Amino acid sequence: MSRIGKKTITVPAGVKVAIKDSTVAIEGPKGKLSFKFRPEIRVSWAESEKSIQVTTDADLPEGADVAKFWGTTRALINNMITGVTKGYEKTMEIVGVGWVPTLQGKKLKLSVGFANAIFLDIPVGLTVTVDKTFVKIGGPDKQMVGQFAASMRAVRKPEPYNGKGIKYLEEVIKRKQGKAFGA
């Protein structure tokens, strides 16, 4: 039994839910998302109660894999509902002298100490804003926001000696001493 999978998902007002075959489509004020779930899982939408129930196929034997898919499916649908109502946001900070991010159309230009600037394509559905050395990434899809933030951080990871690099705003970088000269 999955403890997470058993919980019902309450759907707030203003969110539309459509279940067709093995696909859940959710539409809200912040956007529209869809998810294709596994055949072992059953998703039912109760319009009167404004809730989604995730269950497993009764014909299948109880197993660890079914419980994993059950809980994961429920968590992903819950994240989709949160995304289309509130949205997700990550803030990145660029630390380094002369290191600046700029927006150029649908691309994010990162000048972070390399000979050439690095250009990252902004995925459809994400909003990226630049304020001096801070970059805010927002959108309804939690996975897409996190993936773009991770790919941005991978361009120049923060290093522990000078603290330079691209980091999450809330991330703490453990600083190291460095080599001592002389005796």
For the domain made up of 3-85, the CATH class stated in words is: alpha beta
Q: What is the pLDDT of residues 106-143, one digit of tens each?
A: 999 999 999 999 999 999 999 999 999 999 999 999 99
Q: How far is CA 168 from CA 80, 120, 175, 176, in A?
A: 23, 17, 16, 19
Is the whole-model pTM more than 0.85? yes
Question: Hey, where are the domains in the chain?
Answer: 3-85, 88-168
Q: Which CATH number fits domain 88-168: 3.40.50.620, 3.40.50.11540, 3.90.930.12, 3.40.50.2000?
A: 3.90.930.12
User: Residue 77 — left, alpha, or beta (φ > 0 → left; ψ -120 to 50 → alpha)?
Assistant: alpha
With cut-offs at 50, 70 and 90, classify the pLDDT of residue 64.
low
Q: Does residue 58 have a pLDDT over 80?
A: no
Quickly list H helices, the chain: 3-6, 64-85, 142-155
Same fold, 3-85 and 88-168: yes
Q: Is the pLDDT of residue 28 over 70?
A: yes
Write the pLDDT tens digit of every residue in 139-179.
999 999 999 999 999 999 999 998 899 999 999 999 998 88
